[in-house]
A and B are shown apart, each in its own frame.
Chain A
């Protein structure tokens, strides 16, 4: 399938997913405070409790080293874990760090792309909750510049 067509489909799916999870069902209703927290740690605690988080290669976070545009930074998240339950992105330096959360259907392919808005140079975190409720984390710093003078 051509990337253009695939993308069209992908974006639709993404929109539906977002509605189902973020918009109504779980995160918003079960953890209403999470989106209002001002630190990633607090937001993570709201959603996932105080469970230990292991930094490993199960959570895969793809981001540029330097953002071309801080208000729309492309991000791709994925995991090799089978039947992962949720994937959530936190942006440490944003006023409201919780950016987006996906709730995965059993057997679905756990790979999503979207755009995130970043206020300044900061760490972006991905938490993947596996089938057993264990948490896996990937962290990457993205630099947001005030305007280049390179060349």
Chain B
């Protein structure tokens, strides 16, 4: 058993390096000089929650560059997570080139990644979370996973999420919810949930009325809920309710054809009714919401629903080092978001007394792989899962001079490769690729393997297409996706980034209404896109119906094989109006 020994832990904490002490954070986490200080102050109160979310099936340690553009406007202007790069460092008083700064921002990314190496990895996470649980008391600790766990890697796709179910079981997760979990078929999802040792909770997934009439099973036939909405858990002497909120727009952002019987939605009224019922019936000491809403949606939900103590959220992949308080009619709900890709474990300690949360401490803890020894049981599971595919997955397809990444409101460099591949291989004027927030990073000088390509593309609807599209329809697609990202009402934001484009340039004014944001739409040649002209468009990941072409990883593999080396990558990013002083963009990095 490779538990984390005290010296290693001391080393880890002392090298994080940031000066500030946030209100309600575990004291001196980023400034601790010795182990005793850390331990003395680390354990707070009488109930501990560990939270991870959006690991996207990254069993192995990864590089993951945080965004250089994540724009917020109006009430979210300059508010986390719409604060990036140097603005983020300043906002939180974190030293540039420190470990904290490296883990939470895009600044000097390549240089720092070479110094601090990879993050995450389930064998390393297991060591850290066992330590955090053992240190506080197993009977008083709950481990919550916010979903997007069964999807994002080659092996997760090949095993239909089963490799991750087993990993979550080994990790000892207590409660889960989902989003990309719902991109397998209903039968596969139910089978995976059966194999889970943790509770799978979702208050906002219902069996459609017509499906119920056709005999489809529901968790509760009276309410129509497809899954258990919440679970009561004992933590020491206290009872805590954990409610689940799956991604509300799963049936819009992802294909309905895999899950024809289920309907989603934010459903704040159902949430309020449920919280009231739990408060009255179960008399819990605390009510926690494990959410896959996305940060801004969670903030609005915290304002319109009362009676929730904490929202432990995910979906938008935001690494936010403090718990954000939101006022509502009965008090305050704190909202947390714990990053993605296994980079972070959030530690939330509550002091519960007389059926109330009196105080808390919260820390977003980066997982530095090289500082944490691998847990042998988890390592064996990962090795076993990968072994049958390893030769295929690790074969270098090409090398790169550029840092490759996806995350950010607009095209990342790996998206550019996908868009370029679609255009070149399929012979298209323009190409589109979804603005997913997952997808790991590759450092300059590294080889690009099939494993890497799958980390960008491993979905259950990867088929490509080449079709004719009218200029006006292309414009409408861009407007529609931009509205999902920039709508003023967070409840109308779906939490993906802007669709990635190849062979196109445009101007965007995010503050305008739908239909008026996108102007100046041109081919990369500078030729104006005409409303009534027909263009050849290539793409993949069609939500409505299955596309006829090869899976996109084949397209990208062919492109990489043809080019062998990626250099002078031309990143196609739009001109953005009105963001000169916006802290949601790191202008020094945005244009290459």
Query: Which residues of A come within 8 Å of B, CB atoms?
Result: 2-4, 7-8, 11, 62, 64-69, 74, 113, 121, 143, 145-151
List 14 A-B pairs, Cβ < 8 Å. A2-B221, A3-B218, A3-B223, A7-B212, A8-B213, A62-B269, A65-B265, A65-B489, A66-B494, A145-B480, A146-B476, A149-B432, A150-B494, A151-B495
Interface residues of B in 223-279 (CB under 8 A from A): 223-224, 249, 251-254, 256, 263-266, 269
Query: Which residues of B come within 8 Å of A, CB atoms?
Result: 179-180, 209, 212-213, 215, 218, 221-224, 249, 251-254, 256, 263-266, 269, 432, 434-438, 476-477, 480-481, 484, 489, 491-492, 494-496, 499, 514, 541-544
Name the distance in Å between B475's Cβ and chain A's nearest Cβ. 11
Report chain A residues within 8 Å CB of B481: 148-149
Report chain B residues within 8 Å CB of A121: 514
Which residue of A62, A113, A147 is within 8 Å of B480 (Cβ)?
A147
Report chain B residues within 8 Å CB of A148: 249, 252-254, 481, 484, 494, 496, 543
3 residue pairs, one from A and one from B, having the closest CB atoms: A150-B253, A150-B496, A150-B494
A151-B436 contact given A3-B223, A7-B213, A65-B492, CB 8 Å threshold: yes
Name the distance in Å between A77's Cβ and chain B's nearest Cβ. 14
Q: Is A3 in contact with B212, judged by CB distance below 8 angstroms?
A: yes
Which residue on B lies nearest to A114, using beta carbons?
A: B209
Most B CB within 10 A of own CB, among A4, A66, A147, A150: A150
Q: Is A146 in contact with B480, judged by CB distance below 8 angstroms?
A: yes
Which residue on B lies nearest to A11, using beta carbons?
A: B213
Beyond the given A150-B254, A150-B496, A151-B253, please list 14 additional residue pairs across the A-B interface where CB-CB is below 8 A: A3-B212, A3-B224, A4-B221, A7-B213, A8-B213, A74-B263, A121-B514, A148-B249, A148-B252, A148-B253, A149-B253, A149-B481, A149-B541, A151-B436
A68-B222 contact given A145-B484, A148-B484, CB 8 Å threshold: no
Q: How far is the CA of A151 from the CA of B266 in the complex (A)?
A: 16
Name the distance in Å between B406's Cβ and chain A's nearest Cβ. 11
Report chain B residues within 8 Å CB of A65: 265-266, 489, 491-492
Q: How far is the CA of A143 from the CA of B180 in the complex (A)?
A: 23
Name the distance in Å between A22's Cβ and chain B's nearest Cβ. 20
Which residue on B lies nearest to A68, using beta carbons?
A: B251
Q: Is A66 in contact with B252, judged by CB distance below 8 angstroms?
A: yes
Which residue on A lies nearest to B435, using beta carbons?
A: A149
Main secondary structure of the interface of A (DSSP, over half): loop
Report chain A residues within 8 Å CB of B223: 3
Report chain B residues within 8 Å CB of A64: 265
Report chain A residues within 8 Å CB of B251: 68-69
Name the distance in Å between B200's Cβ and chain A's nearest Cβ. 20
Report chain A residues within 8 Å CB of B494: 66, 148, 150
Report chain A residues within 8 Å CB of B434: 149-151
Q: How far is the CA of A150 from the CA of B294 in the complex (A)?
A: 12
Report chain B residues within 8 Å CB of A150: 249, 252-254, 434-435, 484, 494-496
Report chain B residues within 8 Å CB of A4: 212-213, 215, 221
Report chain B residues within 8 Å CB of A149: 253, 432, 434-435, 481, 484, 496, 499, 541, 543
Q: How far is the CA of A146 from the CA of B434 in the complex (A)?
A: 14
Which residue on A lies nearest to B220, using beta carbons?
A: A3
Report chain A residues within 8 Å CB of B438: 151
Report chain A residues within 8 Å CB of B437: 151
Most B CB within 10 A of own CB, among A7, A67, A68, A74: A68
Report chain B residues within 8 Å CB of A151: 179-180, 253-254, 434-438, 495-496
Q: Is B265 in contact with A147, judged by CB distance below 8 angstroms?
A: no
Which residue of B221, B249, B269, B477 is within 8 Å of A147 (Cβ)?
B477
Which residue on A lies nearest to B215, using beta carbons?
A: A4
Report chain A residues within 8 Å CB of B436: 151
Q: How far is the CA of A148 from the CA of B264 in the complex (A)?
A: 15
Q: How far is the CA of A121 from the CA of B254 in the complex (A)?
A: 19
Which residue on A lies nearest to B433, using beta carbons?
A: A149
Report chain A residues within 8 Å CB of B269: 62
Q: How far is the CA of A4 from the CA of B251 in the complex (A)?
A: 22
Name the distance in Å between B166's Cβ and chain A's nearest Cβ. 24
Q: How far is the CA of A143 from the CA of B213 in the complex (A)?
A: 27
Q: Is B221 in contact with A143, judged by CB distance below 8 angstroms?
A: no
Report chain A residues within 8 Å CB of B477: 146-147
Q: Is A143 in contact with B492, judged by CB distance below 8 angstroms?
A: yes
Which residue on B lies nearest to A63, using beta carbons?
A: B265
Report chain A residues within 8 Å CB of B263: 68, 74
Name the distance in Å between A89's Cβ and chain B's nearest Cβ. 17
Most A CB within 10 A of own CB, among B179, B209, B224, B541: B209
Which residue on B lies nearest to A148, using beta carbons?
A: B253
Q: How far is the CA of A62 from the CA of B251 in the complex (A)?
A: 18
Q: Is B256 in contact with A2, judged by CB distance below 8 angstroms?
A: no
Report chain B residues within 8 Å CB of A11: 213
Most B CB within 10 A of own CB, among A7, A145, A151: A151
Q: Is B213 in contact with A147, judged by CB distance below 8 angstroms?
A: no
Most A CB within 10 A of own CB, among B252, B489, B495: B252
Report chain B residues within 8 Å CB of A7: 209, 212-213
Name the distance in Å between B181's Cβ and chain A's nearest Cβ. 12
Q: How far is the CA of A78 from the CA of B218 in the complex (A)?
A: 25
Q: How far is the CA of A4 from the CA of B436 in the complex (A)?
A: 37
Which residue on B lies nearest to A8, using beta carbons?
A: B213
Report chain B residues within 8 Å CB of A74: 209, 263
Most B CB within 10 A of own CB, among A3, A64, A143: A3
Name the distance in Å between A92's Cβ and chain B's nearest Cβ. 16
Name the distance in Å between B144's Cβ and chain A's nearest Cβ. 21
Name the distance in Å between A60's Cβ and chain B's nearest Cβ. 10
Report chain B residues within 8 Å CB of A145: 252, 480, 484
Q: How far is the CA of A76 from the CA of B131 in the complex (A)?
A: 50
Name the distance in Å between A143's Cβ and chain B's nearest Cβ. 6
Which residue on A lies nearest to B493, using beta carbons?
A: A150
Report chain A residues within 8 Å CB of B495: 150-151
Q: How far is the CA of A151 from the CA of B432 in the complex (A)?
A: 15
Name the distance in Å between A122's Cβ and chain B's nearest Cβ. 12
Report chain B residues within 8 Å CB of A3: 212, 218, 221-224
Report chain A residues within 8 Å CB of B252: 66-68, 145, 148, 150
Q: How far is the CA of A71 from the CA of B406 in the complex (A)?
A: 34
Q: How far is the CA of A147 from the CA of B495 in the complex (A)?
A: 14
Which residue on B lies nearest to A5, using beta carbons?
A: B221
Report chain B residues within 8 Å CB of A62: 269
Which residue on A lies nearest to B485, using beta carbons?
A: A150
Q: How far is the CA of A65 from the CA of B493 in the complex (A)?
A: 10
Name the distance in Å between B454's Cβ and chain A's nearest Cβ. 16
Name the distance in Å between A123's Cβ and chain B's nearest Cβ. 14
